[in-house]
Structure formats: C-alpha cells, structure tokens
Homo-oligomer: A and B are copies of this chain.
Amino acid sequence: MDAAQADSQAKPVSIDRLLKIAGPDMAGVDTMIRDRMQSPVAVIPALAEHLIGGSAKRLRPLLTVAAARLTGASDAACHNLAAAVEFIHTATLLHDDVVDSSELRRGKVAAHLIWGAPSSVLVGDFLFARAFELMVETGSMAALEILARASRVIAEGEVLQLTRAHDLDLDQAVYLEIIKAKTAELFAAAAESGGVCAGASPEQAAALRRYGQELGLAFQLVDDALDYSGTSETLGKNPGDDFREGKATLPLILAIERTGAQERDFWMRTVDARDQTEADFERARTLVEDSGALEATLKAAAGYAEGAKSALAHFPAGEWRSALADLADFAVARRA
C-alpha cells in the first residue's frame, strides 16, 4: 500500500451519510423527475427513462438539495429546481454523446445508438426546455439566472472542447478552462442555485458556488484519471475512450509533457493522427502511470477537493456540512 492509498483509506470515502439525510428530498426529486419527463410523444419518455431512470447517481440535484438544506431550507421548495438541474445535465449528456459518437453511457448503450442521433438531439432539447419550465415554477428569477448562465457557459465549454481538445499542443490552462465550463459550472450552479432558492446571503451563495466549482473540478479530474486506470465493469463505460477519441485530458497532457522527447512518434501517431491499434491504449496507460501523470492528476483533484471543503467554513457545523465534506472526499477516493 502506498502513501496515497493509505491516505485515502483514512478518510471517510463514502457518501452514505449524505445519501441517508438527503433520502427524503431525493425521493421527492425523483418523483418530480419522473413526472416531468412524461410527454404524449412516446419516444420522449422512453428515451428519457433509458438515461434518467436507471443507475443515474443524481449528483447534481443532490448538490442542489444539500445546498438548500445547508442554507436552512425547511420545506421542499427546491425539488423542482433540483429536477431542473438533472434535466439540464441529462440534456447535455444526450448532446455530448451525439457529438462524441460515444457508445456507452451510465453502463448502457448510448441513446443515439438505439433511437438515432436526431431523437437524442431533440429529446435533449425537450429536457432543456422542461428544465426552464421547472425553474419558472420555483418563482426564483435569481436561481433561473444562475442556471441560464450555466447552460450557456456549458455550451461554450463544449464548443471549445470540440475545437481544441484534439490538439496535441493543448496546454493545461485551456484544458482547465474547458472542464471549468463543461463540468464544474453545473456543479457550481447546482449548489449556488440551491442556496439562493433557500434564501442564502450573497456570501453564502458565493461560498456554495466555490464549493460546487472545486468539487466539479475534482470530479472531472478523477473521471479523466479513471479513463486510464479504471475497468469497464466499475466505470459503466469503456476505459480508454478519451484516448481513442484523441481527447486531451490532464493525464494525457502531463504524460505527453513528461515523455514527449522519447515517445514523440507514438503520441503523434496515436493522438495527433488518431491512427491507433488495439494495443496502443495499453501502452498509453503504462506511460500515463509510469510518468507519474496519473498521480499528478489525482493530486490536483485532491487539491480542489480541499478547496471545496474550505468553502464550507462559511456555514455552521452540522450534519449537512459534514455530509458535503464527505462528498468532496468521495470525489477523489472513488474508483468509479
């Protein structure tokens, strides 16, 4: 056992406590989600059920609910906002999978391979619009503003990734900009809007935003690491997807930086020209591990998780604060 493993085992790496105290709220959110994904047009609920119904972790709406409770929400007022957050997330997944031609999502065949890319695009649009209908129901223009802005920033991040992420010269700064927009923005908006919906002060709202943003960065970095270190059984998708798509994520960027001199031909062929054989991913995985790129990525993630936890200091100690601290630790310690 190395030091990093010992360290992660010493921390509470489970979100059981959070899932338990948020259970009643999440049941309400789940009911809301299932109710609002209905439509007289049969393909819509069928496709939505495929993606939303099963194994979804519902991390983002969980964040909305927990932020509302941490802020002192005493009723169920933010469930429709939490459902809206999940719908925005699901819409972006549907469009993402079309854009990336992904084959697996949440352990299942990607929706566009079953219903076709056009249906995925249009059901994504349906869910996105439905999210705004749900937000209108909350009556909070401030929450609506946060999530409208987040939706726009996410789209900008997606386009930036599309146009830059296969670039062998992509640097860490642009990579960080992409994941801030693509992933961390919705985490930040989910937490901030949950707080705002429950009457957070501007300072509390800003702290929740920072918590969500750093948590989102930690989650994304660990996802990117797992794409080189995980297995398809635990991940619910194929490891190596990013590499095969030539997607420049931090583990790859660092590995290229560190091994570029000796391995230039390998990276040029496999990433730049995307001319790969089956065996290439194993070699890339070895280079990512042996160069320390994987460890450095996980270390960066741990740094963001610590940043997320420190943002919680703006709130009084209590079960919700502890549970959200667990979530930050879990983001780094998880293996799937």
Contacts and interface: CB of A to CB of B under 8 A. Distances in A.
A141 interface: yes
Contacts of A296: none
A99 to B, nearest CB: 4
Contact of A132 (B44, B122, B151, B158): B151
A98 B112 CA distance: 14
A123 B41 contact: no
Contact of A126 (B126, B155, B163): B155
17 contacts: A39-B156, A39-B159, A44-B159, A98-B118, A98-B121, A99-B118, A119-B162, A122-B159, A125-B151, A125-B154, A125-B155, A126-B155, A126-B156, A129-B154, A129-B155, A132-B144, A133-B148
Interface residues of A, number: 42
Given A132-B144, A132-B148, 19 more contacts: A40-B156, A41-B156, A41-B159, A41-B163, A44-B156, A92-B125, A98-B117, A98-B118, A117-B117, A121-B121, A125-B155, A125-B158, A126-B155, A126-B156, A129-B152, A129-B154, A133-B148, A136-B148, A144-B144
Interface of A: 39-44, 91-92, 95, 98-99, 117-119, 121-123, 125-126, 128-130, 132-133, 135-136, 139, 141, 144-145, 148-149, 151-152, 154-156, 158-160, 162-163
A60 B130 CA distance: 22
A156 B42 CA distance: 10
Nearest to A88: B129
A136 B141 contact: yes
Q: Which of A135, A139, A155 has the most CB of B within 10 A?
A: A155
B133 A163 contact: no
A315 B226 CA distance: 63
